[in-house]
Amino acid sequence: MGTGHFFWVIFYFASLCSASLANNAKINFREKEKKVLDQILGAGKYDARIRPSGINGTDGPAIVRINLFVRSIMTISDIKMEYSVQLTFREQWTDERLKFDDIQGRLKYLTLTEANRVWMPDLFFSNEKEGHFHNIIMPNVYIRIFPNGSVLYSIRISLTLACPMNLKLYPLDRQICSLRMASYGWTTNDLVFLWKEGDPVQVVKNLHLPRFTLEKFLTDYCNSKTNTGEYSCLKVDLLFKREFSYYLIQIYIPCCMLVIVSWVSFWLDQGAVPARVSLGVTTLLTMATQTSGINASLPPVSYTKAIDVWTGVCLTFVFGALLEFALVNYASRSDMHKENMKKKRRDLEQASIDAASDLLDTDSNATFAMLRQCEVHMQAPKRPNCCKTWLSKFPTRSKRIDVISRITFPLVFALFNLVYWSTYLFREEEDE
């Protein structure tokens, strides 16, 4: 057998041996992963009821670091004062009992899906109303155990949380909704929650809310003391700003239009009673319905809201326009009564003058003396008043009331708008 042929035979057997060793290494690597899990979590070797030790194996409290990823915020309810959020919740702590050999960096971490196999912090959401896990298609939860004993717990959950609101500036308001997390049974002597360093709270970029905008969020600590001890607590404050454009289109502009429509009656003839009454009653009922619809979507609070001031004043203007017609109608009937009385008085005076003219002396001297006496008693004419001169163009009181209302109502409503918007917008900037 030649030397070359012998070399190729040796190379072939070497290749087979290396492939076999590689396959064995892969198989052994997977088996090693199982052995590591059995080694650190086997019966009698690890007790999930006992908490991990403190930093550097001391007897201090176990440190658990928290971070959140807000996936979506579904609803923010004003009437229930709550909001719904879906988030990925993560906890990370160190349990030195779970250290293992990473086989020269091949085992980056071990993955578990059963949370009851390792010790877990007894965290709960203190302002939670409802909540549930996600199990489609598999439970959305995992636990990673790293070679140094670090444990990462991640789960996707949906929560409905209480959010007490102050609606004094509604709908020009901002609301702060909190997410509070605390330990239920372990005091700060045994367990301490800390925010993860760097970026503890993340929010999805395309977050969309129909009536609110998430302006910012703040992380803080909220440890609480009770009769049984002090408990560690973390909180996230989400600052929401209400989108005003919806309320401008749905409430403010329609109310303004109803108020302006109620002023049309000032331009109708005072004798058009059916038209003016139907216009006033219709606008008043429409405004009342609008107010009821607004209050139906809000909780019955004991204080006055900004929207209450607006709808109340608009309702007052519409009601005032209806009362104005009642006053005009009364003044019109009073004018007619006075006109009839004046006509009768003129007829009586004319009859008495005709009777007296037959008895009067037509002497020119007597006539001249009477004229002189009249000139003596005449007074100098007063300086004309602009308002009186302008109002004198309208002979009846009912017409004057309509003319004054045409000017007074829009001016007062414009003044109210100036005060309203400057007041509440200024208060909004102060709160900000």
pLDDT tens profile 381-430: 555 555 555 555 556 777 888 888 889 999 999 999 999 999 988 875 55
* End-to-end Cα spacing for the chain: 94
User: Pairing between strand 62-77 and 82-94?
Assistant: antiparallel
- Residues of the chain below pLDDT 50: 1, 9, 19-27, 362-365, 367-369, 371, 374-378
Per the CB < 8 A criterion, the answer to whether 286 and 254 are in contact is no
| Number of other residues whose CB lies within 10 A of the CB of residue 189 | 11
Burial class of residue 119 (count of CB atoms within 10 Å of its CB; 0-12, 13-18, 19+)? buried
Q: Which secondary-structure segment (H or E) carries 370?
A: helix 364-377
Q: Quick one: pLDDT at residue 332?
A: 76
Query: Whole-model pTM above 0.95?
Result: no
Whether 193 and 233 have beta carbons less than 8 Å apart is answered as yes
Q: What is the CB neighbour count within 10 angstroms for residue 42?
A: 10
pLDDT reported for residue 1: 47
CB 79 within 8 A of CB 297: yes
Please give the C-alpha separations between residue 200 and each of 89, 92, 195, 234, in angstroms, as whole numbers.
Answer: 11, 12, 6, 11
Q: Would you state the pLDDT for residue 25?
A: 44
pLDDT at 18: 54
Per-residue model confidence (pLDDT) at position 383: 58
Distance of CA 239 to the CA centre of its chain: 10
Residue 332's SS3 state is helix
Question: And the tokens for 387?
Answer: 């308002």
- Give the model's pLDDT for residue 371: 44
CB 332 within 8 A of CB 270: yes
Task: Determine the pLDDT at residue 349.
Answer: 66
